[in-house]
Chains A and B, each alone.
Chain A
Amino acid sequence: MAEKTLPHSAYAELPYLTALTTYLGYAVLIVFGHLRDSCGKLFNAGSYALRQAGQLDGRAPLLNDFEDFYTRRLYQRINDCWGRPIRGTAGAWINVLERVKETAWCPTSRLDRRPYLPTDAVVKRATHGAPLPSDPTGRVTTCLNLGSYNYLGYAEVPGGVHSSVTDALQHAGVAACDVAVSTGRSAIVRKLENTVAHFLGKEQAIVVGMGFATNSQIIPAIVGKGDLIISDALNHASIVVGARASGAKIRVFEHNSADSLESTILDAIAVGQPQSGLPWNRIMIVVEGMYSMEGQTCNLRAIVAVKNKYGAYLYLDEAHSIGALGPTGRGVAEHHGVDTRDIDIMMGTFTKSFGAVGGYIASDSALIDRIRALSPASLYASAMSPPCAQHINWAFEQLMGKDGTDVGKSKIHQLRENAIYFRKRLNTMGVQTLGDWDSPVIPIMLYNPAKIAAFSRECYSRGLAVVVAGFPATPLLLSRARICLSAAHTRADLDWALSVIDEVADITQIKYDRSFATRLLPLSVAKFITGNQRSEECLSNFEGHEYCKGRHCLMRTHSM
């Protein structure tokens, strides 16, 4: 079961029965939602009363029907799975703040020294015994963090952020308070821009204070009317927003398929611009280095071959791959052995591997000059916060070994090792995963809508923080949990996490790769047959764990 071959489509492994039960699940949710709405309308009660009240003044409802229905009747049932607040760094272990809605099934929390009760209103509600579901209780749960994009572990720097970062805070302040272009750029940001360009082997780079804005506000400065954007079907929302804002025409090709890309380009050139039939000015292919919901790297070699064949330009979004892939962390190009000169525009973010915030574009001088002079991201957006820029500068130095240590190098090595180990173990366990065999992002397929919440809650109640995603972030049928590994995870962390996932996977019955018969058997029978002693193993693993020593033990109160 070692290196599983990649399914061409995520649908390929979806069992028919599961597809059926998934549809059924949504049907039940929708039917009951409408039933409740009808009752609400009839008796003017519940959330419906609130809605009616908002419309009495003669204005149209603020939200459209479907969105409103989806939020109230589907999302709100399980909204505790998202937006769990944390306290402290998003490192390998995180302190998750317990909310009122979680008290019932969150037995492992402990009272924090600094109870978090942010406003008088919350305190008042708490003392009157009528707290809102999202109000904090003041207790925290320490969880192993498999959710944050903390690939290289820079979210939590041992001993706190580097002294140069606090120096930057003292010298340059919290923020620059201005748009970069009209007053000039700070020396720290200039240094970062040079470092990025040098790191990627590009002439110049521009840094923006937010990754989303890098895509959404710079793509319009690169292409415009008369140009064509050919975009991967699974590209991120920021690319979609940027492409829409650009005024260029947009065509979508099948996810990661070079054949589909080629035929799209051939069609586009043969037909020309709509109506006029004029030849396209330029064609720009937009792909991501790693698709964060799929755990899959882009098929870069084949895409570069197509692009070179037809003279298109390539825009590569390395939000998740920069730092995380390649032997020296230079991203997906290095990972696939592609020369960065073959990639016209390289975009990436500092949120993930660098533990900061912001994004960059690296390309030829002429293009960067244009972006600087014309893009909204440079004309209207705040400059990057100086301490953030310095944190990234420092992380780059460590990654490139300029600080005289091999910390950066070992981080990259550790991440890859963790990724391969974890995926191998998951695959032997029998759960279905997506993505490349060495990718640090590992989606675990859940399919049924009810399992989204079940998986997240069961993991959380055992002290494991995972991310789950369903429609509309994924296709309706393909709900999943997503594991993001980090260089900060130790082998013991991973083993413990695996034992928890194993147990939760049995409870939620998501071991789709196991034979159908064993999945149907009750859990106790299956355990008896396979002689599975996971629970004990899980407990002993955890108690032996060094993190646990001297700290509150999470698993103590949890009955096995």
Chain B
Amino acid sequence: MSSILAQFGISLSTLSITPSAEAYYRVIEALFFLLIIYLALTRAYLPWKVREAIPANTAASKLASWRPAPLATPLPPSVRAQQPLDINILSVDGANITLDASHLSTDSPTTTALNFATNDFLGLHAKRSIREAARIAMRDYGCGACGPRGFYGTTDLHLQCEHRVATFCDSSSAILYSFGAATANSTIPAFCKRGDIVVVDDSINFVLYSGVRLSRANMLTFEHNNMNSLEAVLKSVCEKHVDKAAVQRRFIVVEAIYANSGDLSPLDEIARLKDQYRFRLLLDESYSIGVLGHSGRGALQHFDVPRKRVEIATADLGNAIASVGGICVGNAEVVEHQRLSGAGYCFSASQPPFLAAAATAAMDVVENEGESLISRLRSRVKLFRDMVDVGQLKKAGWYLDGHPVSPIIFARRYDDNANPRIFTDLQERCLEDGILVARPVYSTDELKLPKHAVKITISAVHSDEMIRKAAQVLMHNLLDVGA
């Protein structure tokens, strides 16, 4: 010990203390002091400033031999095979959609088909009163708002829409995002930080999943719609992090109707579990607003769960509400925090005022005519499901995904290795028979990659005839392709 100290010109005698316990502390203090000086004088270790540390010829040869990969390689055949038809939509009018038919085997340049593809569940897309509200807003407010909400991009139409959303959802406040696909993935990182826990259903959609990833919180998954699995995860979190309960934010993230499958989540059960284990709930209602509940208020109405038990709810306005934008509903703390911390809110231009006006008008329509629209939608979905012979499809290797109340229905193969091309073929065949269905494509970055599918969307504007025709066409083609 004394020899080490001597190296630095310090000897025990200069400390003028007898070598007792106290002296050792002094020595340790001195060593720490020297260590601080040493660290202060040495160059910081910066992995990106180490070029000088690498022999010059190595660096030079690395530079000379570096060949960048091309910016874009052609799409791999597996991806190309699952591309949907590149349809040129000329106009949409309720259940009828007019397409450019130049690539189809018809003589006329355009063709019309029945629209079973867009997510216009209540038929609000063609609603006169909504278009009129949008037109008036456009006349008075122009097209875009030309700035973020903070910088004179807030119009009274946005505020009205936020108030409307709040009353519609029976909440104290709401916040309006300008784009549905940038809503949940801004909300989640605004509240969940590194070290927090987010428990997600393993079938959540990509927008939610990307939000969880961006938040850098610890993500735990539970089996899709399996409450035992959820409870086990919640329990393990509470037991494992018992000391962190006061600081660790814990969230459950689920969708009311799953975008990738049309399944309904058992919200009452989830709400019970999250209260029992002191979690918070983030519910995505993109596909359930205007669909669930006897008057279309969403999953909370369907399950009769009070609003205050769902801390945060998000939704895309691009489906039943037939506008473009996103909303987040919660108490004042949740909403006001996002006005400073929601990346997609602060750093983006505000929603065009006419889209906010259209969303407000759409919610007025749901409020006034909700019950009749919903019962109409329900009966259409039921009719479609009744028309499809599930047993026959099963024999041909097909099944339909989704809960009986879901207006989005996915036709999928039991067989995991089905050729992706057949789904696009199916889309094309249905179109030739006058029915437009969607062919969803999924990113390979999904949490759980959904199987290939064609998606049929039922809307309240469809007549019984149309539903029957669509079901027949679909059945016929599914059996034909599957054979």
Binding site for B on A (CB under 8 A): 54, 57-64, 67, 71, 75, 82-91, 94, 96-97, 116, 118-119, 136, 145, 147-150, 154-157, 160-161, 165-166, 169-179, 181-187, 190, 209-213, 216-217, 220, 222, 236-238, 241, 244-245, 251, 263-264, 266-272, 274, 279-283, 310-313, 344-345, 349-352, 354-357, 363-364, 366-367, 369-370, 373-377, 379-382, 384-385, 387-388, 391, 465, 467
Give the contact-size bracket for chain B: 35 or more
Does chain A have a CB within 8 A of B219? Answer: no
Q: At the interface with chain A, which of B12-20, B396-404, B433-441?
A: B433-441
Which residues in window 288-341 of B have CB below 8 A to A?
311, 316, 318-319, 322-324, 333-334, 336-337, 339-341
| Contact present for A178 and B438 (CB under 8 Å) | yes
Closest to B147 in A: A148
| Contact present for A59 and B278 (CB under 8 Å) | yes
| Contact present for B154 and A271 (CB under 8 Å) | no
B156: contacting residue among A85, A179, A388, CB under 8 A? A85
| Contact present for B143 and A387 (CB under 8 Å) | yes
Does chain A have a CB within 8 A of B105? Answer: no
A181: contacting residue among B90, B155, B441, CB under 8 A? B441
Q: Give the Cβ gap from B141 to chain A, nearest Cβ, in Å.
A: 6
Query: What B residues does A363 contact at CB under 8 A?
Result: 71-72
Q: Give the Cβ gap from B245 to chain A, nearest Cβ, in Å.
A: 7
Q: Supply 12 further A-B pairs (C-beta < 8 A) apart from A186-B89, A212-B179, A382-B324.
A: A54-B333, A59-B249, A86-B152, A118-B159, A183-B118, A210-B178, A210-B181, A344-B71, A357-B145, A373-B441, A376-B207, A387-B354
Closest to A97 in B: B156
| Contact present for B48 and A62 (CB under 8 Å) | no
Binding site for A on B (CB under 8 A): 47-51, 54, 58-59, 62-63, 65-69, 71-75, 79-80, 83-92, 99-100, 117-120, 125-126, 130-131, 134-135, 138-147, 149-156, 158-160, 163, 167, 178-182, 191, 193, 205-207, 210, 213-214, 244-250, 278-280, 311, 316, 318-319, 322-324, 333-334, 336-337, 339-341, 343-344, 346-349, 351-352, 354-355, 358, 436, 438-445, 455
Q: Please measure, in the bound complex, the distance between the C-alpha atom of A177 and the C-alpha atom of B347, giving whole angstroms.
A: 24
Q: Give the Cβ gap from B162 to chain A, nearest Cβ, in Å.
A: 9
Q: Give the Cβ gap from B31 to chain A, nearest Cβ, in Å.
A: 33
| Contact present for A269 and B66 (CB under 8 Å) | yes
| Contact present for B443 and A148 (CB under 8 Å) | no
Q: Please measure, in the bound complex, the distance between the C-alpha atom of A418 and the C-alpha atom of B152, giving whole angstroms.
A: 21
| Contact present for B89 and A183 (CB under 8 Å) | yes
Q: Please measure, in the bound complex, the distance between the C-alpha atom of A211 and the C-alpha atom of B135, giving whole angstroms.
A: 23
| Contact present for B84 and A181 (CB under 8 Å) | yes
Q: Give the Cβ gap from A556 to chain B, nearest Cβ, in Å.
A: 23
Query: What B residues does A367 contact at CB under 8 A?
Result: 71-72
Q: Given A90-B147, A183-B87, are A211 and B348 also a contact pair (CB < 8 Å)?
A: yes
Q: Give the Cβ gap from B164 to chain A, nearest Cβ, in Å.
A: 8
B51: contacting residue among A183, A185, A266, CB under 8 A? A266
Query: What B residues does A67 contact at CB under 8 A?
Result: 337, 340-341
| Contact present for A245 and B179 (CB under 8 Å) | no
Q: Give the Cβ gap from A158 to chain B, nearest Cβ, in Å.
A: 11
| Contact present for A172 and B91 (CB under 8 Å) | yes
Q: Please measure, in the bound complex, the distance between the C-alpha atom of A356 and the C-alpha atom of B49, giving whole angstroms.
A: 44
Q: Give the Cβ gap from A407 to chain B, nearest Cβ, in Å.
A: 16
| Contact present for B322 and A174 (CB under 8 Å) | yes
| Contact present for B347 and A236 (CB under 8 Å) | yes
Query: What A residues does B85 contact at CB under 8 A?
Result: 184
Q: Give the Cβ gap from A210 to chain B, nearest Cβ, in Å.
A: 4
Q: Given A161-B139, A237-B343, A266-B63, are A87 and B134 also a contact pair (CB < 8 Å)?
A: no
B99: contacting residue among A90, A184, A377, CB under 8 A? A184
Closest to B151 in A: A467
Query: What A residues does B351 contact at CB under 8 A?
Result: 357
Q: Please measure, in the bound complex, the distance between the C-alpha atom of A161 and the C-alpha atom of B352, giving whole angstroms.
A: 13
Q: Please measure, in the bound complex, the distance between the C-alpha atom of A62 and the C-alpha atom of B90, giving whole angstroms.
A: 47
Q: Given A169-B131, A209-B179, are A178 and B443 also a contact pair (CB < 8 Å)?
A: no
Q: Which of B72, B86, B346, B439 has the most chain A CB atoms inside 10 A of its CB?
A: B72
Q: Please measure, in the bound complex, the distance between the C-alpha atom of A165 and the C-alpha atom of B138, giving whole angstroms.
A: 9
Query: What B residues does A149 contact at CB under 8 A?
Result: 146-147, 349
| Contact present for B245 and A210 (CB under 8 Å) | no
| Contact present for A148 and B146 (CB under 8 Å) | yes
